[in-house]
Amino acid sequence: MDKEKMIKKDPSINLKDQILKEKEKIANTDPSYHQWNFKKLIIDSIKKNGGWVNAHAHADRAFTVNPDTLDIYKKHSLVEKWDLVDVVKDASVDEYYRRASMACEVLIEQGVTALGTFVDVDPICEDRALKGVLKAREHYKDQITIKTINQVLKGVIDKDARKWFDIGAEQVDIIGGLPKRDELDHGKGEEHINLLLETAKKYNKMVHVHVDQFSTVTDKETEQLADKTIEYGMQGKVVAIHGISLGSHPKEYRDMVYKKMRKADLMMICCPIAWIDTKRSETLQPMHNSITPVDELVPAGITVALGTDNICDYMVPFCDGDMWQELLLLATGNRFLEIDELVKIATTNGRKTLGII
């Protein structure tokens, strides 16, 4: 029915009248109207609003893929890459500093003034990535505000992984999570979320969690995170990242989750390029692009921010950290053209998710 609506004319609209009205509008508009450029209009507003905010990245792995190693991206699933990426994690503090510095340079050049970056702290890289990123933060502190978030690629359940989670949690600004890792390995996604929230409460820190990444109806992690946020009394301090799978559920379920998110004051970061490459599947589900449903989240009263996610690494090789490209895909992928809201998504909302306003 919806699809029929899309390709049929609406009989209640008189197109001839509409054309006359639009012509009149154009005739009465300042000639500069014809020179308008949405990119310029939006970027100028972003500058006035304090500059771009990249609310989600992995700066410690930036620029680690090259044409010779692109096969890892081509041949393997994300779940396999959570371990395969170990090949670039046996790096020195200086190498991590170099990667994070390159990411900072790329972002600062565009006018990014704040960055939230996950940093691997686990049995493979131990705390070298964090030391490298903190060194870069110190170097660029006059140009960009950086908030660090611990990435737990090895989960938090295995003994050694837990040890590094505890070390990371103490040192970072925001507690980071990836419940799917422990759900797939041990069936303990819920325990993973519990530990994140308990730890965040203990240190009085915010929480950022990767959820609903796989664009599938079996994913219900955003709902679970909203429920847990309320259970732990952490309203307004928890941020979901991605929420792609929301669009795979029927409207009734989506609306129910948005209500829960509002009750939990659960925010959402959209990283459009990172998930637009979701693989083709024969599963039938509501028609949608593989992107966070920003067109529904914003009207539902949810704070939405923008992130690049991985920059030129095994996970997302072709994302080069271009904030405009990300915002453009967010807008077009969702048919979401509310200019004021887009500016907020790229600026103040990002600050809110990083706890800097």
Q: Work out how close the CB of 208 gets to Zn ion at its nearest, in angstroms, rounded to a whole number.
A: 9
Residue from 182, 219, 295, 309 in contact with Zn ion (CB under 5 A): 309
Identify whether the C-beta of residue 111 lies closer than 8 Å to the C-beta of residue 47. Answer: yes
Residues binding Zn ion: what is the number (CB under 5 A)? 1
Identify whether the C-beta of residue 300 lies closer than 8 Å to the C-beta of residue 261. Answer: yes
Which of these segments, 129-137, 152-160, 226-234, 306-314, binds Zn ion (CB under 5 A)?
Answer: 306-314
Rule CB under 5 A: say whether 313 interacts with Zn ion. Answer: no
Which of these segments, 6-14, 36-44, 79-87, 303-311, binds Zn ion (CB under 5 A)?
Answer: 303-311
Number of Cβ within 10 Å of residue 46's Cβ equals 25
The candidate with the shortest Cα–Cα distance to 129, out of 51, 220, 58, is 58
Query: Phi and psi for 97 in degrees, rounded to 5?
Result: -60, -40
- Residue with smaller CB distance to Zn ion, 119 or 345: 119
What lies within 8 Å, CB to CB, of 271 at 6+ separation is 56, 241, 242, 292, 306, 307, 308, 309, 326
Identify whether the C-beta of residue 114 lies closer than 8 Å to the C-beta of residue 351. Answer: yes
Which of these segments, 9-17, 34-42, 305-313, 347-355, binds Zn ion (CB under 5 A)?
Answer: 305-313
Q: Work out how close the CB of 4 gets to Zn ion at its nearest, in angstroms, rounded to a whole number.
A: 38
Query: In the bound complex, which residue of the shown chain has the CB atom lying closest to Zn ion?
Result: 309
- Residue with smaller CB distance to Zn ion, 60 or 309: 309
Amino acid at site 154: K
What residues form DSSP beta bridges with 65? none
**Distance, CA of 153 to CA of 61 (rounded, Å):** 13
Which of these segments, 102-110, 228-236, 302-310, 339-347, binds Zn ion (CB under 5 A)?
Answer: 302-310
What lies within 8 Å, CB to CB, of 124 at 6+ separation is 86, 89, 90, 153, 154
Binders of Zn ion among 322-341, rule CB under 5 A? none
Binders of Zn ion among 246-285, rule CB under 5 A? none
- Residue with smaller CB distance to Zn ion, 221 or 309: 309
**Distance, CA of 305 to CA of 320 (rounded, Å):** 19
Q: Work out how close the CB of 199 gets to Zn ion at its nearest, in angstroms, rounded to a whole number.
A: 19
Q: Work out how close the CB of 22 gets to Zn ion at its nearest, in angstroms, rounded to a whole number.
A: 43
Which of these segments, 95-103, 152-160, 290-298, 301-309, binds Zn ion (CB under 5 A)?
Answer: 301-309
- Residue with smaller CB distance to Zn ion, 225 or 343: 225
Q: 3-class SS at 158? A: coil
Which residues of this chain interact with Zn ion, rule CB under 5 A? 309
